[in-house]
Chain A
Amino acid sequence: MKARVHVMLKNGVLDPQGEAVRHALGAMGFEGVNAVRQGKLIELDLAEGVTEADVTEMCEKLLANTVIESYRVELI
């Protein structure tokens, strides 16, 4: 099994990198981009028996800093 962990800054936490990307897109002539949020995608290749609950625990303890980030686990 594989898991994809999507980590994003929480709403309300300013994302200066996303903002810089938005500016660059505007400067390149792409119009209509109201906001950009930049996150991380972490892929885990998991052995038999590892559960979604295990992955959630990994997120809580290391993969995301829940003070500033939210996460979503996707099993594939």
Chain B
Amino acid sequence: MRAAVVVFPGSNCDRDLAVAFEAVGFQVSMVWHKETGLPSGVDIVGIPGGFSYGDYLRCGAIAARSPICGAITAHAGRGGHVLGICNGFQVLTETGILPGALLRNAGLKYICRTVELEVVARETVFTAGYRPGEVVRFPIAHHDGNYVADDETLARLRGEDRIAFTYRDNPNGSRADIAGVLSANRRVLGMMPHPERAADAGHGGTDGAALFAGLAQALAPV
């Protein structure tokens, strides 16, 4: 199994994400944003958290137009898996791969703490390691995590069971408490909370480990 983790100027969770993938058996390549293609045979692309391009213009906006994002869009279009966390989620909405957008937190403050989430979506490789309705604790660390989507988009996300995680106590004003959403083919997940920062006992919590373990099990060659 092969994973690629994209590195933008300003990424700061790229190595954490690589370690989380490696811990469950992925062979990980770090891919610089100026690359125009992904390494061959990549099963999943990770877009890490951080502050790509200093959050200039809009969070994730400039990263979403970088050369590697053309390759990520093509990978997703072929049915490839993509996991975007925090700034990675912002990049995925800016590319249009995922619907909606992420605005400044409703309380205007940068929030860095551990929150409780509910696992909502079923039948996705990203939540395969959890029971439906399970409550997990992941850290959040963001200033712009306030998910917005219009009524039509929200209805579609709900109708197609594409809301992957919701906040139990909404920290940032996100519509319908949404913390993470899936693409129509369920192979792309964007989420603001950080499972890779809760994947090792040294992190103070291991609830994120099941996300990566579930992915590894689902993507393992048969």
A-side residues, CB < 8 A to B, are: 9, 13-14, 16-17, 20, 61-63, 65, 67-68
Contacts and interface: CB of A to CB of B under 8 A. Distances in A.
B101 A65 contact: yes
A48 B103 CA distance: 36
22 contacts: A13-B103, A13-B148, A14-B103, A16-B103, A16-B105, A16-B106, A16-B107, A16-B146, A17-B108, A61-B65, A62-B57, A62-B65, A63-B57, A65-B61, A65-B94, A65-B101, A67-B93, A67-B99, A67-B100, A67-B148, A68-B103, A68-B148
Contacts of B103: 9, 13-14, 16, 68
Interface size class, chain B: 10 to 19
Interface string B87-98: 000000110000
Interface of B is mostly: loop
A65 B108 contact: no
Interface in B158-177: 173
B104 interface: yes
B75 interface: no
B122 interface: no
